């Protein structure tokens, strides 16, 4: 029994625990303890994560002449840290007051805990897969576990979950086809055999593999054009579930892409696949898909009026950065892409926790119905502030470091258009997150929210922990870059030259310790200059310039709707909804064909066409 077996068994035990005691009041706390236990077991595997190497599970299964095996390497360890960490904090968040309110409102808290535990277990299985069959089995289990988590709320959530499962199955079938092709070429489903047969494949065969695997995994990750399911599905999931899904669920698609496309097939053969009549090849295709996956969802997020949908759309967009960094292919880019997985998980979860804290206290996440909560929920505000600075990718938070690395690598590789595209994404993000924090926490406090209070500590603690992680890993990114360097070594990619403060390079290094230090020093100086200038008098929000009018408490004096009116006038016509049109047309065509088939079967006079069929069949036989 190796350390990996301990981890997997303990994770399975957590599932059992959630099944048995999920409904009890202490169920959430017990689950949290078990996740902490999983995390501790994972730390025992930390040698793999930091120094490389592989830990193999002692369990393997041979079914139908295919052998399935499980193992952890540096990449698996890295993703597992994020998975279990996210689950731990989500479970903590749900354990106290949130869980009580959820149960009181008619929600099934036991099912939530069970779904969360199942998600973690299936993700660990996927991360531990050691051959194509176990990869596919893990993949399906992850897809269905996510479905369970998404569908449990009912109503809008179940509609979104149905859409998700249709997309997920389509992706899974693409992967199945790719796996079958791999078996056909290599004679087995083992990675080593696949790698050895790769150089012998022709270009079209290579394209088939890349397309099938790429599209299949892209569905889970939410890359264009397979992204339409993700926002609604993640947004409608109850609180901690949404945070967990947003943090790590779609990154399972990225994990699979990294394993199959970058580790097994390799970037160089992908670059060798050219698309005729264009200047594109496989690598630049990946880069452009990533770039569009950054821009379109980010600008869709800009139009959202529901805080959860806004965050969910940003989640889709940030996935593009991860793929972009990896597609750039050099040490800096891949490190940036991988670090972005970690960074995104931290601040996305923090943002979702903050938003759901507001929902918990006010009952709504509609941005046009909130405002001014900064005085009532200051900690949630601070967490959201840290989160949005991270999401926007500005110093001193960790989001800046990973984005910096991606930008730098694009500069070094000489890809200006991709660089501009990714910066446009960042700018759109800044606009969008400012709207989020302004409409929620700034501006005028509504009359009905005068008595709102901060959420209890069981919800505050995980938020603050995440915010602290965002800040600390922003100031000392070397903490995260160390395991990432071993991931790069494990994948066969060039390794980034990291320091505790950032990256050491000849032509433009980064030292976040200095940058953040000077930044905070600057704030200190600014504070000294400000607070030494005499006492301020705090005035009421209604004591405000209103063009000569007097404001009263029932006057709605908040600018929130259509926040970027001028910009929308310019880019509004650019929202063509083409992807939705495509989705709807596929739906209609299927419906049409289905009705056709149904009417075939309801035909009242079968004998005639039976005769016709028999005659035609005879004719076919005679002719052929």
Partner 1 sequence: MNPAEMNPQDMHQIVLTVVLPLLAAFLLPVFGRISMTFTRYLGPIVLLIGLLSTYVVWGEMTQPYMIAIGGFAPPTGIVFYIDQLSLLFTALVLLMSLLLWPYHRDTSVREYSLSLLLAGAACGLALSGDLFNIYVFYELASVASFGLVAAIASGAAYAAAIRYLIISGFGSVLALTGIALVYTQTGTLNLAQLALLAPEQLSNITGITAFLLILLGVGVKAELFPVNTWVPEVYATAKKRVSALLAGLVSKLAVLVLVRLLVLVFQTEQALQIMLLLGVLGVISGELAAWRAKDMSRMLAYSSIGQLGMVFIAFSIPGEAGLYAGIAVALHHLLVKPALFLLAERWGKSLEGLRGAARVSPGGAMLFVLFALSLVGVPPLPGFWAKLLVVMGLISQGAAMYSVALAVILIATVIEANYFFRLAITLYAKTEAGEKTGEETEPKAHARLDIATSALFGAALIAAVVFIVPLGQQLKDTASQAANVKTYISTVFPTDGR
Partner 2 sequence: MSVIEILIEAMLMPLVAFVVGLFMVLMMRKIGARIQRRVGPPLLQPLYDIIKLYSKHTQTSHGWMHDIGIVMAVGGYVAAEAMLPVPGMNGIAEKGGLIVLTYMIMIPSLGLALGVGQCANPNGSIGIARALTAMLAYDVPFVIVVFGVAWHFGSTNLVEIIAAQQATGPAGWGITEMPLLAFAGLFALQGMLGKQPFEIYVAPHEIATGPMVEMSGKHLGGLFVMQCFQLYTAAVLYVTLFLGGGENWLTFLAKSFAVVAIPMSIAFVFPRYKTDDLVRLLWKWPVMAGLLGLAFVMN
Cα–Cα distance for residue pair 452/369, rounded to 1 Å:
14
Tell me whether the omega of the peptide bond preceding residue 396 falls within 30 degrees of 0, making it cis: yes
Tally of residues, the chain: 624
Toward partner 2, which CB reaches closer, 115 or 328? 328
Among 1, 64, 529, 539, binds partner 1 (CB under 8 A): 64
Toward partner 1, which CB reaches closer, 136 or 404? 136
Decide: is 105 part of the binding site for partner 1 (CB under 8 A).
no
Toward partner 2, which CB reaches closer, 109 or 452? 452
- Cα angle value 435/439/443 (rounded, 5°): 120
125-144 positions binding partner 1, by CB under 8 A: 136-137, 140-141, 144
161-180 positions binding partner 1, by CB under 8 A: 161-162, 165-166, 169-170, 173-174, 176-177, 180
Alpha-carbon separation of residue 204 from 3, 117, 166, 197, 211 (angstroms)? 42, 41, 28, 15, 10
Q: Identify what 461 binds: partner 2, partner 1, none; CB under 5 to 8 Å per kind.
A: none
Toward partner 2, which CB reaches closer, 530 or 575? 530
Cα–Cα distance for residue pair 509/507, rounded to 1 Å:
7
DSSP 224: T
Under 8 Å between Cβ of 227 and 316: yes
Q: Is 495 left (phi over 0), alpha (psi -120 to 50) or beta?
A: beta
556-585 positions binding partner 2, by CB under 8 A: 557-559, 563-567, 569-570
Alpha-carbon separation of residue 298 from 71, 107, 349, 432, 580 (angstroms)? 36, 31, 18, 8, 16
Cα–Cα distance for residue pair 202/79, rounded to 1 Å:
33
Decide: is 104 part of the binding site for partner 1 (CB under 8 A).
no
Toward partner 1, which CB reaches closer, 574 or 621? 621
Among 151, 335, 383, 493, binds partner 1 (CB under 8 A): 151
Size of the site for partner 2 (CB under 8 A): 77
Toward partner 1, which CB reaches closer, 574 or 624? 624
Toward partner 2, which CB reaches closer, 211 or 551? 551
Toward partner 2, which CB reaches closer, 39 or 557? 557
Alpha-carbon separation of residue 124 from 64, 183, 261, 305 (angstroms)? 24, 24, 20, 35
Decide: is 12 part of the binding site for partner 2 (CB under 8 A).
no
Helix (H, G, I), strand (E, B) or coil at 598: helix
Structure tokens at 414: 């000489």
Region of 175-183, 229-237, 283-291, 422-430 interacting with partner 2 (CB under 8 A): 422-430
C-alpha closest to that of 135 among 18, 263, 223: 263
The CB-of-264 to partner 1 minimum distance in angstroms stands at 19
The CB-of-56 to partner 1 minimum distance in angstroms stands at 20
552-611 positions binding partner 1, by CB under 8 A: 590-591, 593-598, 600-603, 606-607, 609-611
494-533 positions binding partner 2, by CB under 8 A: 501, 506-512, 514-515, 518-519, 521-527, 529-531, 533
Q: Identify what 591 binds: partner 1, partner 2, none; CB under 5 to 8 Å per kind.
A: partner 1
Can you list the positions of beta strands (E) in 237-345? none
C-alpha closest to that of 115 among 171, 192, 56, 31: 31
Cα–Cα distance for residue pair 523/525, rounded to 1 Å:
5
192 phi/psi in degrees, rounded to 5: -60, -40
- What does the binding site for partner 1 look like in residue numbers (CB under 8 A)? 61-64, 136-137, 140-141, 144, 147, 151, 154-155, 158, 161-162, 165-166, 169-170, 173-174, 176-177, 180-181, 183-184, 590-591, 593-598, 600-603, 606-607, 609-611, 613-614, 617-618, 621-622, 624
């Amino acid at each position: 029994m190796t350390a990996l077996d301990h981890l997997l068994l303990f994770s399975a035990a957590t599932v059992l625990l959630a099944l048995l005691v999920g409904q009890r009041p202490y169920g959430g706390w017990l689950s949290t303890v078990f996740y902490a236990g999983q995390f501790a077991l994972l730390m025992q595997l930390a040698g793999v994560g930091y120094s490389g190497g592989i830990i193999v599970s002692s369990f393997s299964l041979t079914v139908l002449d295919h052998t399935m095996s499980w193992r952890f390497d540096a990449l698996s360890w890295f993703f597992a840290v994020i998975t279990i960490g996210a689950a731990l904090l989500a479970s903590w968040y749900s354990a106290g007051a949130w869980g009580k309110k959820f149960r009181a409102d008619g929600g099934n808290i036991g099912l939530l805990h069970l779904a969360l535990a199942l998600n973690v277990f299936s993700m660990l299985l996927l991360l531990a897969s050691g051959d194509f069959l176990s990869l596919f089995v893990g993949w399906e289990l992850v897809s269905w576990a996510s479905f369970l988590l998404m569908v449990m709320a009912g109503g809008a959530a179940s509609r979104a979950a149905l859409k998700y499962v249709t997309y997920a199955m389509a992706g899974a079938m693409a992967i199945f086809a790719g796996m079958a092709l791999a078996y056909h070429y290599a004679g087995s489903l083992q990675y080593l055999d696949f790698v050895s047969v790769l150089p012998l494949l022709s270009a079209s065969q290579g394209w088939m593999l890349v397309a099938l695997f790429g599209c299949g995994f892209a569905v889970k990750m939410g890359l264009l054009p397979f992204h339409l399911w993700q926002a609604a599905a993640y947004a409608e999931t109850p609180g901690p579930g949404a945070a967990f899904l947003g943090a790590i669920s779609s990154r399972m698609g990225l994990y699979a892409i990294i394993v199959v496309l970058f580790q097994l097939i390799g970037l160089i053969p992908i670059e060798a696949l050219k698309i005729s009549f264009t200047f594109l090849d496989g690598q630049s295709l990946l880069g452009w898909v990533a770039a569009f996956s950054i821009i379109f969802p980010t600008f869709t997020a800009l139009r959202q009026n529901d805080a959860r949908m806004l965050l969910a759309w940003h989640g889709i967009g940030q996935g593009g950065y991860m793929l972009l960094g990896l597609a750039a292919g050099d040490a800096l880019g891949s490190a940036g892409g991988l670090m972005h997985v970690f960074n995104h998980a931290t601040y996305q979860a923090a943002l979702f926790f903050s938003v759901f804290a507001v929902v918990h206290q006010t009952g709504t996440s509609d941005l046009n119905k909130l405002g001014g909560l900064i005085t009532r929920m200051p900690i949630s505000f601070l967490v959201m502030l840290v989160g949005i600075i991270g999401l926007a990718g500005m110093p001193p938070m960790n989001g800046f470091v990973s984005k910096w690395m991606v930008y730098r690598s694009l500069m070094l590789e000489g890809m200006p258009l991709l660089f501009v595209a990714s910066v446009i994404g960042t700018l759109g993000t800044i606009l969008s997150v400012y709207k989020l924090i302004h409409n929620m926490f700034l501006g005028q406090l509504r009359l009905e929210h005068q008595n709102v209070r901060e959420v209890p500590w069981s919800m505050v603690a995980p938020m603050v922990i995440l915010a602290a992680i965002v800040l600390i890993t922003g100031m000392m990114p070397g903490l995260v870059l160390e395991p990432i360097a071993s991931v790069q070594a494990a994948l066969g990619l060039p390794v980034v030259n990291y320091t505790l403060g950032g990256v050491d390079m000849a032509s433009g290094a980064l030292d976040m310790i200095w940058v953040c230090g000077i930044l905070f020093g600057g704030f200190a100086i600014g504070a000294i200059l400000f607070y030494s200038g005499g006492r301020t008098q705090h005035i009421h929000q209604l004591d405000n310039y209103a063009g000569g009018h007097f404001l009263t408490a029932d006057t709605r004096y908040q600018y929130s709707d259509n926040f970027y009116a001028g910009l929308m006038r310019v880019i509004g016509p650019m929202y063509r909804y083409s992807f939705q049109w495509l989705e709807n047309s596929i739906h209609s065509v299927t419906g049409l064909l289905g009705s056709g088939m149904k009417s075939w079967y309801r035909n009242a006079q079968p004998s005639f066409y039976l005769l016709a069929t028999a005659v035609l069949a005879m004719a076919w036989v005679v002719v052929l």
